[in-house]
Amino acid sequence: MIVPLNPLPCLTYPKTRHKRRNTMALIKIEIISDAICPWCYIGYRNLQKAISLYRKTYPGGSKDIIEVWWKPYFIDQEPPKESILIQDRMLRRMDPKMVAAAQTRLKRVGTDAGIRFKFGGYIGSSRLAHQLLYLAAREGSELQCRVSELLFHYQFEEETDISQLDTVIAVGVQAGLREDDVREWLASSAGVAEMEAEAKKARADGVTGVPHFVIGGKHHMEGAMDMSELFEAFVAVREGQSS
């Protein structure tokens, strides 16, 4: 059952006590991610905290425009034919002790990020989820962020399989898209070729793991970076420093 979620905002605009700059900057952030990756969820929460810190503490940061865009990556280059239990998926790659340790770590780190991970659900292909994200991007970065967070939330906190069509449609509607538009989009091949091309390009460009952040078009950071590292990248972009 889909449980309504009030996701954290993609962009926050808190007040700042610092002296403001006279100019406004655009900081564009791309997150190369897979909706079935728990560390991508953690990485996004850390990014949200870094954005909030930047707006509160960096001079003029509250005036700057920060856009967050999601780019596709397929952990499973060949989509699985059917969903399986998350536990069974992890056991295909690790022994039972390693699975237990990995889940314990994810729960601990997730709690710090405000995520309550559960591992009792099913998990499958992320193709439909990426197709929905591609549709959402046409409506803007904020809507795409809402869709992405909802996908993560249902997969990892509500134990709801986001490879299922009804789930993906419900996510799109809850995020603010029209149900008819979502159904028509997912039933067609619209955006699929472009989505696949972007995912292949990411691998060709050397992306081997996710999340992978591209900040300001030049600062590449792989993994669930902590808030301070992301904040420093924002400052470097804002001040025109090279990576």
Reported confidence tier of residue 2, pLDDT bands at 50, 70, 90: low
Confidence category of residue 210, pLDDT binned at 50, 70, 90: very high
Which ranges constitute the DSSP H helices of the chain? 38-57, 86-91, 96-112, 127-137, 141-156, 165-175, 179-187, 192-204, 227-238
Question: Residue 22: its pLDDT value, please?
Answer: 54
CATH code of the domain containing 158: 3.40.30.10
- Does the residue 153 lie in any domain? yes
Those residues whose C-beta lies under 8 Å from the C-beta of residue 159, and which sit 6 or more positions away, are: 118, 120, 121, 122
182 within some domain = yes
The DSSP secondary-structure symbol of 148 reads H
| Residue 126 DSSP class | -
Mean of per-residue pLDDT scores for the chain: 91
List the domain range (segments joined by +) for residue 87.
Answer: 27-238
For residue 104, being part of any structural domain is answered with: yes
Q: Which two tokens stand for residue 184?
A: 């028509």
| Beta strand pairing call for 65-72 and 26-33 | parallel
Q: DSSP string spanning 23-71?
A: S--EEEEEEEE-TT-HHHHHHHHHHHHHHHHHHHHSTTTTTSEEEEEEE
Query: Across the strands, what pairs with 221?
Result: 213
Q: What is the rounded average pLDDT of the residues 26-39?
A: 97
209 occurs within a structural domain:
yes
Instruction: Specify if 118 maps to a domain.
Output: yes
Domains of the chain: total: 1
Tell me if 165 is assigned to some domain: yes
pTM: 0.89
229 located within any domain: yes
Residue 163, classed as helix, strand or coil, is: coil
Question: Residue 203: its pLDDT value, please?
Answer: 96
In a domain, 111, yes or no: yes
